[in-house]
Structure 1
């Protein structure tokens, strides 16, 4: 989220110191069993609002409306019910996905703030402007719809991950201030404010008693009367002028004033609780109540390590409690899982892995040259060696590599066959950003916030079925083989480029860009006379003289038959 928030801050001058059928067959084993999530994470990241609209009745909750223009920052209608529709169609299963990461579904600020350089109405469709951590945002759906989504995913062996934020809540927008009676608007402001004069209707110099009706100075840093000013370090700054939670302080706090009055909140006063205690409790209650399997943690470097340790411990306890109460719904007995965003972290083992994190987002892959076999082999070898070394002695260490991101850019749309191959054969965990598998086009953006273009609505009406079929084949192959994520990498040949990965009894050979009649050396992987299957073409061949000869159809993915 970091880059987007920095772009958004250009306009936030406030004083907050401010439908296609699947084209591949479902996953079928070819003499091997599927690998576990822990050894081989294949995570699909969906911005829920932009994915699929399963319940149009919730599209304009809290009075939210389209802006009548490019709809850059409005809610588009996607919801939890839509995710369930696609689960039931087998969409995620056919991609080999074993976890779905969704944007934070808890309640967001109800209105909008200025986006870009005052160019668009920026609603919290992305889940990064939290208002109430204890209730679902009505645009996302109902508790029953969340439960159905999680249960449906679990029945398919697919975990559910929430995107969460502990660094900051959302801005105070005019609509929220009006609806919750937070007395910091100038008289007539709610009736008259526009995109151009937005901040002029908020009294940023209101006295401390008025601003205490919001989060209050005990909870956050902000450039307001009665609030502590922000610091200059990563841990005390206001990212893009967002109020900064005081998660590091040992002081016990009460509920924020606005939550005491909010009719539908589930927040209750906790005895002798710090800001950290409240946030950890609120977030892990979703785990305890619904069986959420893990968190993708936003802006992790802006929160102290002790908070992440506390969140992981509470998440483990909450998930174990849910599984004990719901043994028929759980996938397995695996502990709670956390992956963090620490921009610009790459493939290296740092202190985050000793403080709650199982994995971190890998910002390295997107900028690599993925169509050059020589460079790709160097990258694969480097990743595999670092992951093996960092995971020695049973220590947690993994990365989640991606091609496209909501915070950076979409990978070139005409290169998604080659780049998708490189991603789905990479060591470590992988993340599919919604629409990379269908060549979803860029959407509208603003000059002040270009990352908004990465968040267009899913192209269900016009998916690139060729790209989708390719990603499905690679994804299903990966799902069966932990060797791709955890195995020893070894280059086998240049013409075509081929490599092996071996992890325990799991052995695979891949020739990512092979076409036509090819001979692939496999002597140290498979024995002469052994029959192997090319999972890409569906054909089988016998190993003769340490070689496999076959007709390649763009990639070769060999597995024991």
Structure 2
């Protein structure tokens, strides 16, 4: 029902959050939480009833395709809902991580324990014959399925306890990153050939049945690289067989740092085709919500060489400034620039979206940003309804650019942020340089102020000069351009109509604003 609204924003693809059937409530008595996010999966083959049916999802995909829009699914392989318990730990309470060195696979309960799993060569030997020897899961803890939950998961092979790591909660460092339970969730043993085959069958089935166009992979960095090296080619082949030649797969490698090396590692080692660009998001927050120098973002483009495929591959990275886990950019603005008034806050959000929609990568908009949503924080505090909400902690938020609250329906196509994003989306669609063009940093510094980049049409070579001002004072400077870029047309803001001299053009940018200047195409 809302596809027309979404498409009018300029959106060409929809990333739907996890839609699989979930365990609705988890947690110890008095500490229960609802599975509001969709990541506590029990049935990997069905849509959760509170969202609808498999037929409803198929109708959504078909309706999007009829409009020329793509649909990406959010998938989870690292873990399932928390069903497995450990006899040594109180149910639903934290359980300490037990390492492979202290609790090896061939001893029960530690290095001095009874011998078990004879002949198992460790999970680095990822063959069916080797894993057939891993029959006793009591090396670290004594895992069990509570009465009545012996077949809680679908497909049924997911109820086999030996197909999980069963080592306790991750401490987010060392081997626990890939072997530990993610906040108590059952951590799947993705080294096992049975798991590899099973997951390929599950998610290949969603491609076969629904014709989806891509996968966003949750918690990708918590899965061993060998799994992705098998899974990704299998999904791409399945998609091609379904007539989907450009199936896009991008992984979540969450970080709060400007750390492109961490992200790039998972494209080179894991062979993920792309990863969500958390480094871009952090840099834009630091520059625009905070007060970092513009060189922080400029360095990011130099580091595109780190990705498998280099700068060209970096063009396919989904970029974002807000998301459902970290929170909304508008929230960061209020936290990092607390003295800014509503107009200045709105200007900073617009500047962030200008960077998102004109710089390299695939811009990813978090629903509600275009309606000025401002959350109280991340995760649950950033998952407001766009239809009228009944959640008090959402409805008391002061939104940007509107007098509405989240207690109202928020699908206003006249909202200033909606109109702004739609304008830039149209600009991006009409200029290949903004979608596929090479990036060349022209000006950057160690303080807030001018960031200027040139982007080039991959066919004609036409130069587009984009200049951002992250400071609260106007900036004027001479900026280097190509010597053949002599005459300019303003695509946004005020641009000098002609270069000052071959190779130099004067730019003036208002506080917290930007300009986009297109050089006349070479004849």
Could you tell me the TM-score, scaled by structure 2's length?
Answer: 0.65
2:238 matches 1:310: no
Structure 1 residue matching 2:287: 3-state secondary structure: coil
1:63 equivalent in structure 2 = none
Is residue 501 of structure 1 aligned with residue 455 of structure 2?
yes
User: Counterpart in 1 of 2:211?
Assistant: 291
What's the offset of the Cα at 1:339? 1.1
Aligned to 1:473: 423
Task: Call closer, same or farther: CA 1:351–1:295 in 2, change over 3 Å.
Answer: same
* Native 8 Å contact 1:383 1:427 kept in 2: no
Q: Which among 543, 548, 552 is matched to residue 498 of structure 2?
A: 543
* Equivalenced residues, count: 403
Q: Deviations over 1:88-147 (max 9, x none)?
A: 23x34533x3332111212222x31249x946x533232201111112222222334323
SS in 1 for 2:365: strand
Q: 1:390 to 1:496 in 2, by over 3 A?
A: closer
Q: Are 2:183 and 1:240 equivalent residues in the alignment?
A: yes
Aligned to 1:402: 320
Q: Report SS of the residue matched to 1:534.
A: strand
Deviation at 1:438, TM superposition (A): 2.1
Residue aligning to 1:300: 220
Aligned equivalent of 1:424, options 328, 339, 357 = 357
**Distance change >3 Å, CA 386–CA 479, structure 1 → 2:** farther
Unaligned runs of 5+ in 1: 1-84, 174-196, 223-227, 251-273, 324-329
Structure 1 residues 98 and 426: CA distance shift in structure 2, 3 A: same
Task: Report whether the alignment pairs 1:106 with 2:20.
Answer: yes
Quick one: distance in 2 between partners of 1:234 and 1:207? Answer: 24
User: In the alignment, is the contact (CA less than 8 A) between 1:388 and 1:486 conserved in 2?
Assistant: no
User: What is residue 515 of structure 2 aligned with on the other side?
Assistant: 556
Deviation at 1:521, TM superposition (A): 5.3
RCO comparison, higher one (Cα < 8 Å, 6+): 1
Give the structure 2 partner of residue 510 of structure 1: 466
Q: Which moved more, 1:284-293 or 1:482-491?
A: 482-491
Supply the distance in 2 between the matched residues of 1:373 and 1:511 (Cα, whole angstroms).
Answer: 18
Distance 1:548 1:199, change over 3 A: closer
Asked whether the 8 Å contact 1:287–1:318 carries over to 2, the reply is yes
Q: Report the CA distance between 1:240 and its aligned residue.
A: 0.7
- What TM-score does the superposition give when structure 1 sets the normalisation length? 0.61
**What are the ranges of 5 or more consecutive residues in structure 2 without an aligned counterpart?**
85-89, 94-141, 153-158, 332-344, 387-405
Query: Which residue among 210, 226, 250 is the counterpart of 1:339?
Result: 250
Tell whether 2:440 aligns with 1:489: yes
Separation of aligned partners in 2, 1:208 and 1:471: 50
Residue number in structure 2 paired with 1:371: 288
Q: Which residue matches 1:154?
A: 65
Once the two structures are TM-superposed, the CA of residue 493 in structure 1 deviates from its matched residue by 9.2
Closer/same/farther in 2, CA of residues 379 and 206 from structure 1, 3 Å limit: closer
The 5-angstrom pairing of residues 154-173 of structure 1 reads 154-172=65-83
Residue in 1 aligned with 2:298? 381
After TM superposition, the structure 1 = structure 2 runs for residues 40-119 of structure 1, keeping only pairs within 5 Å, are 85-89=1-5, 91-95=6-10, 97-109=11-23, 111-114=24-27, 118=30
2:124 maps to none
Find the counterpart in structure 2 of residue 359 from structure 1: 274
2:441 touches 2:454 (CA, 8 Å); kept in 1? yes
For the residues of structure 1 that align with 2:8 and 2:478, how far apart are their CA atoms?
30
Could you say if the C-alpha distance between residues 140 and 374 of structure 1 is closer, same or farther in structure 2, counting changes exceeding 3 Å? closer
2:45 matched residue in structure 1: 134
Work out whether residues 78 and 188 of structure 2, in 8 Å CA contact, stay in contact via their aligned partners in 1: yes
